[in-house]
Amino acid sequence: MKLAIRAALALLVLFLAACATHAPRPDSNPPLILVSIDGFRADYFERGLSPNLKAIADAGVHAAAMRPAFPTLTFPNHYTLVTGLYPDHHGIVNNTMVDPVLGNFTYKKSSELSARWWEGAEPLWVTADKQGVRTATMFWPGSDVEIRGHRPDYYLPFNGKMTAGQRIDQVLAWLDQPAAKRPRFLTLYFEQLDHESHDHGPGSTEADAALREVDASIGHLVAELEKRDLYKNANLVIVSDHGMAETDAERTVILDSIVDLRHIDLVTSGIAVGINPKPGYEAEVERAMLAPRGHMQCWRKGELPARLHYGTHPRIPALVCVPESGWLIETQEFHSRPNHRMHGGEHGYDNDDPHMRALFLAHGPAFKRGLSVPEFDNVDVYPLLAHLLDIRPEPNDGNPATMREMLQ
């Protein structure tokens, strides 16, 4: 009898071991949700207006700050986050660009953006698709065009009228699909905080209200994930693309007082200023723009500080100028427009500027709990995301060592 009992117990142990090996676990192949809160400056977190984000940080990983890539603009940094490449390497070098073959690019005309602008690098959803991982993007620069023959499995063209709640509901609807159709990598994007900080300034009551609003949206997302038993079984990474600095129209460098505007093509103005001298005027324009002067600095494209990782791509203009934090570089005509904003906020400055620092939070089964980590560069996010999806990353500028401290 004892031998029979022992044999039965042995068979039971083997059966349980087989079940443990082959039965699906709640956290096997967990979904990864990448959330971007456009313009969330790292120190906004300390205002006490984002209790839902604080709860995520307390239960997961929170970086002191994340250093964006230069220029500290929306399109370049969103593409850096999903390629692990500096803008100089992935080709989205500004929100506004000129390409000798493709012509003009502006972020405000997303419906006109040719895929060829984006094909200098392979974003994560393309790499994932090639390796059999289903993807869904609720707005992300580049995600609504076909890149290298691939699109996300599910995506929507950008629509600023779509509310935060509607965006979250769509992400949840994608997650609610049967396993065979369910995406494992999803993105979610909120821009209202950036808009209010631009229009009214990062210290305004309007920016604070937008901060509360986006935090409430994160709370709604978490609550819905909890209903689905997904909050503890999904990896959630929350980032921003850049910070924001307070500006004033009185703090403006007027280009007309420096250079003859008839002798230049002004590719971009405001913050990360790009200038191409017209033929025959190169020496004159360089003398004027490269001369030392207050509140701004200019470089030839190949002579920017190495720490900026910027200045080799053909789309970068011949001269790049960056104002002092809180200052602008504009033409007199633009500065004098009746609707020109007198006060507000801007980004695009040197990425060493503390006002440009971005947010990084992470929570889920892959991450340690209650961990604070030092500041790191946003190119390091890409190796982390690829690791969480268990896919082979494309060559990138990120440092995989950054994620090791964060993970279980």
| Positions marked active-site | 74
Rounded Cα gap, residues 60 and 58, in angstroms = 6
In 53-157, at which residue ranges do the beta strands (DSSP E only) sit?
61-63, 66-67, 96-99, 103-106, 135-138, 154-155
What the block records as the tokens of 278 is 């017209």
| Angle, CA of 331, 95 and 161, to the nearest 5° | 110
- Cα separation, 317 vs 314, in Å, equals 8
**Which residues, 6 or more positions from 60, have their beta carbon under 8 angstroms from its beta carbon?**
236, 361, 362, 363, 364, 367, 368, 369, 370, 371
Q: How far apart are CA 71 and CA 322, in angstroms?
A: 9
H-run or E-run covering 266: strand 264-268
Q: How far apart are the C-alpha atoms of 43 and 14, rounded to whole Å?
A: 54
Q: Are 231 and 225 in contact (CB under 8 A)?
A: yes
- Residue 341 phi/psi, 5-degree rounding, is -70, 125
* CA 122 to each of CA 21, 90, 91, 267, 362: distance values in angstroms, whole numbers, following the listed order: 35, 8, 11, 26, 24
Amino acid at 166: Q
Sort strands 235-239 and 360-363 into parallel, antiparallel or unpaired. antiparallel
Q: Report whether 271 contacts 236 (CB < 8 A).
A: no
- Cα three-residue angle 70-73-74, rounded to 5 degrees: 130
CA distances from 340 to 258, 328, 336 (A): 21, 12, 7
